[in-house]
Homo-oligomer: A and B are copies of this chain.
Amino acid sequence: MANSRSGDGMIDRTVRVLETFTADRTTQSLSELSRRSGLPLSTTHRIVEGLVAPGLLERDDDRRLRLGPRLWELALRGSRVQRLRQAALPHMQQVQAVVREHTQLAVLEDDEALFLERLSHPDAGANITRIAGRLPLHASSAGLVLLAYADAATRRRVLAAPLVRLTPDTTTDPAALDTLLDRVRREGGVVAKGTVETVSTGVAVPVIVRGEAVAALAVVLPRGADVAGPREQLVQAARRTATDLEAEDRKAFR
């Protein structure tokens, strides 16, 4: 792939600074930011001041840096994935009210499944789960659906790349995965037993808007659980989400 990073280098370096923040690392000192981004301290300082001024980064009481609500607002306000998430959320709540297990929404991004939302059972108490987490396409049920409905180039690229084995049940043979993906399309979804964690079964279906799979909806069940009921719930939720998205599109006359 040609190097298309022809834009301003300062934006690239800014992204490198922002990328050092993760779910496990929400506050950092300037020197940590410098080390983790691989940028000189002076450059990091200049970028940090540039990000603090408009509120994209902020300092906590210990002068450590964290992402500011302003960045969150900028990223979400006009975001297509946020719109998708909002359309899916009420229907995911209905799935979850019946199935009472983790219910997830994912999209294809950089040949991985990017999770936009995850609902967990309220009774489970604290559940500060990983939104914006990623899983390999070939391992997760949502990923298998996204890959099955992806364009041919994406499928070729993923089949040609190393297929990591997360558990003994992860499909890591390209030919077997190719066959599995065909079956996912034929059947309109997948039941993936123990492919991410040995104790769990993922069930996933596509959200199809005007013929294109824009997302996958999935539930994560205990391995031995019945899958027919949850799958039917997912199919209905996916259909309703697609209907709402199409109605919104018409309203926006696009």
Does A157 touch B at the CB level, under 8 Å?
no
Within 8 A of B (CB), among A66-85: 66-67, 69-83
Does A224 touch B at the CB level, under 8 Å?
no
Within 8 A of B (CB), among A117-133: 119-122, 124-129, 131-132
Within 8 A of B (CB), among A93-111: 93-94, 97, 107, 109-110
Q: Is A80 a contact partner of B67 (Cβ separation < 8 A)?
A: yes
- Which secondary structure dominates where chain A touches chain B? helix
CB contact under 8 A between A6 and B53, given known A73-B132, A76-B132, A80-B26: yes
Does A188 touch B at the CB level, under 8 Å?
no
Q: Is B75 a contact partner of A15 (Cβ separation < 8 A)?
A: no
- A40 CB to closest chain B CB, in angstroms? 14
Does A172 touch B at the CB level, under 8 Å?
no
Does A209 touch B at the CB level, under 8 Å?
no
Whole-angstrom CA separation of A43 from B169 in the bound complex: 51
CB contact under 8 A between A122 and B7, given known A23-B77, A71-B79, A81-B69: no
Q: Is B69 a contact partner of A15 (Cβ separation < 8 A)?
A: no
**Closest residue of B by beta carbon distance from A126:** B244
Q: Is A91 a contact partner of B122 (Cβ separation < 8 A)?
A: yes
Q: Is B77 a contact partner of A7 (Cβ separation < 8 A)?
A: no
Does A232 touch B at the CB level, under 8 Å?
no
Q: Which of B6, B7, B91, B126 contacts A248 (CB 8 A)?
A: B126
Q: Is A19 a contact partner of B74 (Cβ separation < 8 A)?
A: yes
**Closest residue of B by beta carbon distance from A64:** B254
Whole-angstrom CA separation of A247 from B109 in the bound complex: 32
Whole-angstrom CA separation of A247 from B27 in the bound complex: 18
Does A87 touch B at the CB level, under 8 Å?
yes
**Closest residue of B by beta carbon distance from A71:** B75
- 27 A-B contact pairs sorted by A residue (CB < 8 Å): A5-B53, A5-B54, A6-B53, A7-B48, A8-B10, A8-B49, A14-B14, A18-B74, A21-B78, A21-B79, A26-B79, A26-B80, A69-B79, A69-B80, A71-B74, A72-B76, A73-B132, A76-B131, A83-B128, A86-B129, A90-B119, A90-B121, A90-B127, A94-B122, A97-B97, A126-B247, A126-B248
Query: Which 6 residue pairs spanning A and B have beta carbons closest together?
Result: A7-B50, A21-B78, A75-B75, A11-B50, A7-B49, A90-B122
- A4-B53, A6-B53 given. 9 additional CB < 8 A pairs? A7-B53, A11-B50, A11-B56, A23-B78, A67-B75, A72-B116, A86-B127, A126-B243, A128-B244
